[in-house]
Amino acid sequence: MQIILVSSRLSKARSIEFTKKHLVAAGIATISAVLGFSALISYFAIQKVVDLKSPFDRALIGPTGEADPERADSFVRANLQVMAARMGEMQAQLLRLDVLGERLAASAGVKLPDTRPVELKAPDSPAPTAGRGGPLLTAPTGPGDALADLQRRLDELGRQMEARSDHLGILESQIAEARVRNRLLPSLTPVAGRWSASGFGWRIDPITGQRALHEGIDFIAETGTPIHAAAGGVVVAAEFHPQYGYMIDIDHGHELTTRYAHCARMLVKPGDVVRSGQKIAEVGSTGRSTGSHLHFEVRSRGIAQNPARFLQGQMQTAAR
């Protein structure tokens, strides 16, 4: 590369020739200048950031710019007091959770495990220990010791919170299970009619006049009166029986079933899932019957139970 210089002061033109070595040297010099300038700017920027101290640093550094031990100790103690007050509030909340859990357990008939710390009792005959003594020289207590003690208490409080959470979770699942189980109990009166004198147990048969076992209760109602499911479940039978007439059997789980007999019309079929209170049939006088009524049975593992035991609450409410 060649550069020619022309000037009025010069008697003749001059030429300057640049080789590859000159160009490389110029490039290196330019890069070095840029890097040096960048380093200078970074240095001043870092110095500026250091001068802008955080509020925590300013609280610990006195007017002289040096750390003040007394000021730092006072600041740490103040923060420890705030944390201790907060821990006291958490302990109060934990106590309220214990009371709430006990009330829920009592209402659901569930017993929670005792989460109170176990008190260690001294043995009746303690083993003899070697003689010991000397002056009492205790270590000075400072913010570091208080912080360590607070940390131990917080760890213990965290373990207690986890235990309470597990126990309340168990209680919630048990209450939910009991609620579902209660929904599947045949406790709803199946028909809006009065309960006749023909109850559960031994009676005089109205057709033969002989002593016979009546495995259900009868509700006197007019033909066409709606019949409702006493509880939710699955229809396992909806058919005509020579004795029961048109009858419906509903399985409520746990080997518990209900039967609705002498129906005039059936509105469900086997396999249908019904909910508590759903209309499933209409009252009639089909099968072995002397008049329009509903014959209602409750069976556990195939054995007839007294339906009044399940309907007692509903009947008492209706009586009021």
> Which residue type, as a one-letter code, is found at position 12?
K
Rounded to the nearest 10°, the torsion over CA 102, 105, 106, 109 is: -160
Question: Is the domain of 164 the same as that of 205?
Answer: no
For the chain, how many structural domains are there in total? 3
Assess if residue 61 is contained within a domain: no
107 and 217 inside one domain: no
Contact predicate 174/113, CB 8 Å: no
Shared-domain flag, residues 73 and 10: no
Does residue 313 lie in a domain region? yes
What does the pLDDT look like over 79-110, one tens digit per residue?
777 777 777 777 777 777 777 777 777 766 66
Indicate whether 63 belongs to any domain. no
CA distances from residue 213 to 186, 198, 303, 311 in whole angstroms, order as listed: 22, 11, 13, 20
Q: Is 281 inside any structural domain?
A: yes
> Are 225 and 268 within one domain?
yes
Q: Give 195's contacts (C-beta < 8 A, 6+ positions apart).
A: 217, 218, 219, 220, 315
Shared domain for 202 and 297, answered yes or no, is yes
Same-domain pairing of 263 and 314: yes
Q: Are strands 256-266 and 201-204 parallel, antiparallel or unpaired?
A: unpaired
Q: Tell me: do 82 and 12 sit in the same domain.
A: no
- Domain closes at, from 134, 157, 183: 183
| pLDDT given at position 132 | 62
Same domain, 239 and 283: yes
For residues 9 and 102, membership in a common domain is answered with no
**122 within a domain of the structure (yes/no):** no
| Confidence (pLDDT) at 193 | 65
Maximal C-alpha separation, the chain: 156
Domain of 44 in residue numbering reads as 2-48
55 within a domain of the structure (yes/no): no
CATH code, domain carrying 315:
2.70.70.10
Residue 293 lies in a domain: yes
Q: Taking Cα atoms as reference points, which of 224, 225, 231, 244 lies closest to residue 189? A: 231
pLDDT value of position 131: 60
Same domain, 245 and 165: no
Residues 6 or more apart from 224 whose CB is under 8 A from it?
Answer: 264, 282, 283, 284
- Residue 256 is assigned to a structural domain of this protein: yes
Residue 251, pLDDT score: 95
Of the candidates 222, 214, 213, which has an alpha carbon nearest to the alpha carbon of residue 285? Answer: 222
pLDDT in tens, the chain (320 residues): 556 655 566 556 666 666 666 666 777 777 777 777 777 776 666 665 555 555 545 544 455 445 556 666 676 677 777 777 777 777 777 777 777 777 777 766 666 655 554 443 444 545 555 566 555 544 445 556 666 777 777 778 777 777 777 777 777 776 766 666 666 788 899 998 666 657 888 888 888 889 999 999 999 999 999 999 999 999 999 999 999 999 999 999 888 999 999 999 999 999 999 999 999 999 999 999 999 999 999 999 999 999 988 886 555 444 44
